């Protein structure tokens, strides 16, 4: 019974945590970035320890190479001097040093290869993780934008069914504005039709005739020829001018 209750509690807890994670993906992404930094730090510590081992092997190889050179020189010198016993001892030690040197060189080569492989694996893993984090960041931003767009569209869809319905304020306002606009247009037309334009037209024609006469007098005084616009009607003849024409 207690096990079943514990499982049920774990299930509720997992559902709650999953819901929180869905609502806050940015927080989960930041947590994964922090975990990645910790993993890189731990990996670098192991890498540094391995690099230290390689350095120790390198130092030991250099020391054995120096011992090899020294023992070879001593063995050769004693052999030339006829001291075979001392030369034999140096030769025996030289064999031991050469075996150790060969083993250390092999270990150093393996350690260096392992170090380079670990370094490459770290860089590749870090680059892959960074690319995945950047991809997730873009996906989260796109998700937020799509969610906002969906909410706006849902809100607009809900408003379509309510705006312009029966008894809506906008409809009543439209009717009032149209009624007042129609009344105002009718009053303007009535006022326009009530204006008597006869006197205005007569005064305009009189002003135009006086202006033409003044222009003709000015042209005659100045000896200028007044050009008649094309298509303009010829000046009407007077009774006197007709009689003169008939006599001639």
pLDDT tens-digit series, residues 31-77:
777 888 888 888 888 888 888 888 898 999 999 999 999 988 988 99
Query: 26 versus 129: which is more confidently predicted?
Result: 129
Nearest C-alpha neighbor of 112 from the set 57, 68, 186: 57
Assign 237 a pLDDT band (cuts: 50, 70, 90).
Answer: very low
Predicted pLDDT of residue 239: 41
Q: Hey, what's the torsion of the CAs at 67, 73, 78, 80, to 10 degrees?
A: 160
Judged against a pLDDT cut of 80, whether residue 247 lies above it is answered with: no
Residue 185 pLDDT grade (very low, low, confident, very high; cuts 50, 70, 90): confident
Query: How far is 112 from 106, CA to CA, in rounded Å?
Result: 10
Q: Using CA atoms, how far apart are residues 32 and 130, in angstroms rounded to an integer?
A: 11
Average pLDDT in the chain: 76
* Stated length of the chain: 248
For range 132-143, the mean pLDDT: 76
Looking from the CA of 152 toward its CB, the CA atoms found within 13 Å total 6
Give residue-wise pLDDT tens across range 73-98. 988 998 888 888 888 898 899 899 99
Q: Is residue 204 scored above 70 in pLDDT?
A: yes
User: Taking the model in full, what pTM does it have?
Assistant: 0.45
* Cα angle value 203/206/208 (rounded, 5°): 110
- Residue 57 · residue 100 · CB < 8 Å: no
- Between 53 and 139, whose confidence is greater? 53
Distances (CA, A) of 216 to 202, 231, 238: 21, 19, 17
Structure tokens at 183: 């009344």
Q: How far is CA 248 from the centre of its chain?
A: 97
R_g (Cα) of the chain, nearest Å: 56
Q: How far apart are CA 55 and CA 43, in angstroms?
A: 18
Torsion of CA 205, 210, 213, 219, to 10 degrees: -120
In this predicted structure, the answer to whether residue 240 has a pLDDT above a threshold of 80 is: no
């Amino acid at each position: 019974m207690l096990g079943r209750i514990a499982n049920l509690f774990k299930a509720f807890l997992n559902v709650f945590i999953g819901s929180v994670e869905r609502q806050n993906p940015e927080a989960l992404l930041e947590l994964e970035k922090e975990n990645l930094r910790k993993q890189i730090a731990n990996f670098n510590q192991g890498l540094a320890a391995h690099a230290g081992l390689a350095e120790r092997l390198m130092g030991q190889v250099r020391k054995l190479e120096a011992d090899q050179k020294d023992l070879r020189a001593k063995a050769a010198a004693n052999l030339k001097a006829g001291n075979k016993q001392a030369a034999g001892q140096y030769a025996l030690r030289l064999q031991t040093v050469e075996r150790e040197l060969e083993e250390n060189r092999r270990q150093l080569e393996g350690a260096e290869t392992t170090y380079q492989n670990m370094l490459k694996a770290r860089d590749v893993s870090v680059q892959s993780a960074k690319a995945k984090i950047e991809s997730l960041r873009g996906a989260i931003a796109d998700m937020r934008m799509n969610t906002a767009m969906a909410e706006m569209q849902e809100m607009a869809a809900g408003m379509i069914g309510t705006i312009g319905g029966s008894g809506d304020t906008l409809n009543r306002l439209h009717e009032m504005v149209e009624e007042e606009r129609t009344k105002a247009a009718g009053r303007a037309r009535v006022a326009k039709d009530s204006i008597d334009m006869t006197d205005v037209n007569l005064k305009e024609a009189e002003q135009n005739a006086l202006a033409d006469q003044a222009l003709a007098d000015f042209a005659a005084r100045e000896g200028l020829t007044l050009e008649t616009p094309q298509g303009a009607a010829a000046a009407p003849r007077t009774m006197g001018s007709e009689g003169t024409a008939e006599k001639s």
